[in-house]
Amino acid sequence: MLIGGGLLAIAVATAALLAVRSPASFEPDSPEAAVQGYLQAVLAGDNRAATEFLSQESACSRDDFRFRDRALNVRVTLLRTDETPDEAIVDVRIRFDETSLDALSSYDIDETFTLVPEAGEWRIAGAPWPLFFCDEPAS
């Protein structure tokens, strides 16, 4: 019993340390900073700010964010960036930690963001996570 309580205390302490870890810093005009800003806005529920990171070629709008669930325990890790003058591809891993009274579970999804330069800034093209279907034509 004592060992189980000790392990639980260690797990709680580790989770607390991970929760307060500061986000990474990226150059303000980098593709990574654009993806980070977008994800922070999405997770904070700031639909207007999230929309500002989308390119003009994206058909997504602020209304597309309205009915999306917000996950409270999310951690994003940069996996890779490939950048050319005309396009940047940013791969991230999004970890969701779900806690309930009877379970603790985590799962990861890998997402790829395509960015294009517009007016000297990197903007997210297409339908990025969590807006998978806003670019599809209505049937």
Question: 98: domain CATH number?
Answer: 3.10.450.50
- The pLDDT value given to residue 14: 38
Domain that holds residue 48: 29-139
Domain count, the chain: 1
Give the per-residue pLDDT at 59: 85
In this predicted structure, what is the pLDDT of residue 113?
A: 95
pTM score above 0.85 = no
In a domain, 77, yes or no: yes
pLDDT value, residue 61: 84
* Residue 110 in domain: yes
At 1 the pLDDT is: 52
Pairing of strands 74-83, 104-118: unpaired
| Per-position DSSP letters for the chain, written without gaps between them | -HHHHHHHHHHHHHHHHHHHPPPP---TTSHHHHHHHHHHHHHHT-HHHHHHTB-TT----HHHHTT----SSEEEEEEEEEE-SS-EEEEEEEEEEEE-SS-EEEEEEEEEEEEEEETTEEEE-S--TT-TTTTSPP-
Evaluate whether residue 61 is within a structural domain. yes
Residues of the chain with pLDDT under 50: 2, 4-20, 137-139
Quote the pLDDT of residue 102: 61
**How far apart are the C-alpha atoms of 115 and 41, rounded to whole Å?**
17
Q: Is residue 51 part of a domain?
A: yes
Predicted confidence at residue 13, as pLDDT, reads 39
